[in-house]
């Protein structure tokens, strides 16, 4: 009897031999890999050998960099009869405001004298006598290049910036099928561990990210976005994937860098500030995008992601956030990570409410952190009405830091008999949302909306009231966003005191 056929499968770069007929679940079991059932995994499967006319992507490797082109010709016969490899080692024959041309290659083809419309990055052939040229359009224009009928056969889809740097001294080093892209077209992305595996399959379950220590604030922003170990693909394009979980956050522009494939940036201006981008294709540097870091492993998993997918993310540093931890747990965390914690006049069950330095890279550099803590019984637990006032709550949490930390702070501004008023005011526009109709109840948290002058004011009601809301405004100017669970914790307050609040989750 012949020996049992064995499959060679790769899991995150480690090769494992398995028997024929195995599934992804079998692979995870043999490798002792814990799969969370949340993040997607990719099965990268070797590309099948294709006829030249069926290959969709080519890489033009030039002396100034690489460009990727996607074939769009409808005439497969023409593509089969002409080998782009013939332009290997061709020099730039001419370059002008409209085009860059490589060649010449000696070949007779049927040509058309008609002028055609060409858009930016169209790829086509042109001729002069018996010479043939590979031409790339730099801008929209109309011209005749004595091309074949319907001349455009491809489009530059990445490396477009290379066109800006080419001169007549440059040349094509090689022109080959992009096997990696062809391979991806034969691959699978899923969370179904019952999928069968084939010999040579490569399974990827995560991306490894190296954060830039010069991007102190941007890196911290990214760590909050992937706080649970996953990145949600909220937006998808040919060029990038993006996440807007913390859109609207003010982020300092720290590092300028070209947005090469695998680069991670955060937008620092405009309506999309705070949005995270991971680039699948090269783009130039931008005054609106600050570098955060780079994807070092798992780029091919990134290529396959779909909108809504969660991808597991490993980072070179972990977020160091002690806020919300007990002194006991904070000491344990710092001890395990080689960090000295400065805490004075604190019992072990006190809760950390502030830390300095604020950012993980700064703490790692100093190897020390100073904290402030308060007794747990002084922190007020609150419930928020997400289903009734989601937009106001989003602004409320951002202003108080509750979108990042488990503890938020309110400073007492003023006290009336029936309410406490607090700072800060919400900075964003507060549209009417969840207006009370008959009564506001003791303990409810309200925000003044745009119907009154003091828009953004935050208040807590100290007694039931059928006329005025927690900020003293009439009902039409009041958004109710939640309630305080332990009103007795407000009794000690006086003006300019700080009320620490924590969201309660059942």
Write out pLDDT tens, residues 292-330: 999 999 999 999 999 999 999 999 999 999 999 999 999
Q: In this predicted structure, what is the pLDDT of residue 79?
A: 45
pLDDT at 418 over 50: yes
Is position 351 within any domain? Answer: yes
Q: Structurally, how many domains does the chain consist of?
A: 5
198 and 211 share one domain: no
Q: Are residues 163 and 60 in the same domain?
A: yes
- CA 17 distance to own-chain centroid: 35
Residues 276 and 388 in one domain: no
Q: What is the CATH number of the domain that holds 40?
A: 3.10.20.30
Range of lowest pLDDT (113-117, 179-183, 332-336): 179-183
Per-residue model confidence (pLDDT) at position 212 = 98
Q: What is the pLDDT of residue 76?
A: 46
Q: Is residue 120 part of a domain?
A: yes
Could you report the per-residue pLDDT of 400-415, keeping only the tens digit for each?
Answer: 999 999 999 999 998 8
CA angle 410, 415, 418 (to 5 degrees): 110
Say whether both 120 and 150 belong to one domain. yes
Of the pLDDT bands very low, low, confident and very high (cuts 50, 70, 90), residue 189 is very high
Reported confidence tier of residue 281, pLDDT bands at 50, 70, 90: confident
Give the residue among 163, 335, 284, 305 at the shortest CA–CA distance from 241: 305
Distance of CA 365 to the CA centre of its chain: 26
Tell me how far apart the alpha carbons of residues 462 and 455 are, in angstroms, rounded to a whole number. 20
Q: Would 322 be classed as within a structural domain?
A: no
Q: Which CATH number belongs to the domain containing residue 161 in this structure? A: 2.40.100.10
Q: Is residue 302 part of a domain?
A: yes
Q: In the block, which residue shows the tokens 């006290």?
A: 415
Same domain, yes or no: 428 and 446: yes
248 and 353 share one domain:
no
Q: Do 146 and 65 share a structural domain?
A: yes
Q: Is the pLDDT of residue 181 over 80?
A: no
159 and 57 inside one domain: yes
The total of other beta-carbon atoms located within 10 Å of residue 39's CB is: 19
Per the structure block, which two tokens stand in for 57?
Answer: 């992507």
Do you find a cis peptide bond into 456, omega within 30 degrees of 0? no
- Same domain, residue pair 311 and 241: yes
Q: Where are the beta strands (DSSP E) in 49-187?
A: 57-62, 65-71, 91-95, 99-106, 116-118, 122-128, 131-137, 141-143, 152-158, 172-177
Q: Which of 171, 203, 235 is the last residue of a domain?
A: 203
Instruction: Specify whether 41 is located in the same domain as 63.
Output: no
Distance in angstroms (rounded) separating the CA atoms of residues 72 and 58: 12
Q: Which residue has the higher pLDDT, 79 or 197?
A: 197
Half-sphere exposure for 466 (CA within 13 Å, toward CB): 1
| Domain extent for 301 | 205-315
Q: Tell me, yes or no, whether 397 and 420 share the same domain.
A: yes
Asked if residue 161 and residue 62 are part of one domain, the reply reads yes
From the CB of residue 261, how many other CB atoms can be counted at a distance below 10 Å? 19
* Within a domain: 321: no
* 454 within 8 A of 447, measured Cβ to Cβ: no
* Domain presence at residue 1: no
Decide if 452 is inside a domain.
yes
- Whether residue 320 lies inside any domain: the answer is no
Q: What is the pLDDT of residues 329-378, one digit of tens each?
A: 999 999 999 999 998 878 889 999 999 999 999 999 999 999 999 999 99
């Amino acid at each position: 009897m012949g020996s049992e056929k064995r499959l060679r499968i790769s899991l995150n770069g480690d090769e494992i031999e398995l028997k024929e007929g195995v599934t992804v679940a079998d692979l995870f079991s043999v490798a002792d890999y814990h799969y969370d059932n949340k993040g997607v995994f990719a099965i990268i499967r070797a590309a099948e050998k294709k006829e030249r006319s069926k290959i969709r992507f080519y890489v033009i490797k030039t002396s100034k960099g690489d460009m990727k082109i996607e074939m769009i010709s409808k005439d497969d016969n023409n593509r089969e009869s002409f080998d782009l490899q013939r332009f290997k080692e061709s020099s730039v024959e001419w370059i002008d405001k409209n085009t860059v041309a490589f060649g010449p290659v000696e070949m007779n083809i049927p040509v058309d004298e008609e002028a055609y419309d060409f858009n930016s990055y169209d790829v086509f052939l042109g001729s002069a006598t018996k010479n043939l040229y590979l031409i790339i359009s730099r801008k929209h224009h109309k011209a005749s290049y004595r091309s074949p009928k319907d001349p455009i056969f491809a489009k530059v889809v990445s490396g477009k910036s290379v066109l800006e740097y080419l001169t007549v001294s440059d040349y094509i080093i090689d022109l080959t099928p992009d096997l990696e892209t062809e391979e991806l077209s034969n691959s699978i992305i899923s969370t179904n561990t019952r999928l069968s595996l084939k010999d040579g399959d490569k399974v990827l379950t995560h991306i490894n990210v190296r954060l830039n220590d010069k991007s102190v604030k941007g890196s911290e922003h990214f760590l909050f976005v992937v706080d649970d170990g996953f990145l949600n693909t909220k937006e998808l394009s040919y060029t990038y994937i993006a996440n807007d979980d913390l859109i609207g956050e003010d982020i300092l522009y720290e590092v300028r860098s070209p947005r090469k494939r695998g680069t991670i940036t955060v937008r620092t201006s405009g309506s999309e500030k705070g949005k995270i981008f991971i680039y699948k294709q090269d783009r130039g540097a931008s005054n609106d995008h600050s570098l955060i870091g780079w994807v070092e492993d798992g780029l091919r998993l990134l290529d396959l992601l779909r909108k809504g997918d969660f991808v597991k993310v490993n980072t070179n540093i972990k977020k160091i956030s002690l806020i919300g931890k007990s002194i006991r747990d904070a000491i344990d965390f710092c001890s395990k990570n080689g960090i000295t914690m400065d805490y004075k006049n604190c019992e072990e069950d006190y809760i950390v409410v502030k830390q300095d330095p604020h950012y993980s890279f700064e703490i790692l550099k100093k190897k020390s952190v100073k904290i402030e803590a308060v007794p747990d019984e002084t922190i007020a637990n609150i419930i928020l009405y997400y289903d009734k006032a989601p937009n106001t709550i989003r602004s409320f949490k951002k202003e108080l830091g509750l979108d990042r930390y488990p503890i938020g702070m309110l400073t007492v501004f003023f006290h009336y008999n029936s309410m406490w008023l607090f700072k800060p005011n919400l900075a964003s526009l507060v549209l009417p949302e969840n207006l009370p109709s008959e009564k506001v109840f003791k303990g409810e948290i309200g925000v003044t909306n745009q119907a009154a002058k003091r828009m953004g004011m935050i208040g807590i009601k100290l007694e039931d009231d059928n006329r005025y809301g927690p900020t003293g405004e009439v009902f039409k100017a009041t958004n109710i966003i939640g309630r305080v669970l332990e009103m007795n914790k407000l009794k000690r307050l006086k003006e300019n005191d700080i009320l620490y609040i924590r969201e309660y989750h059942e």
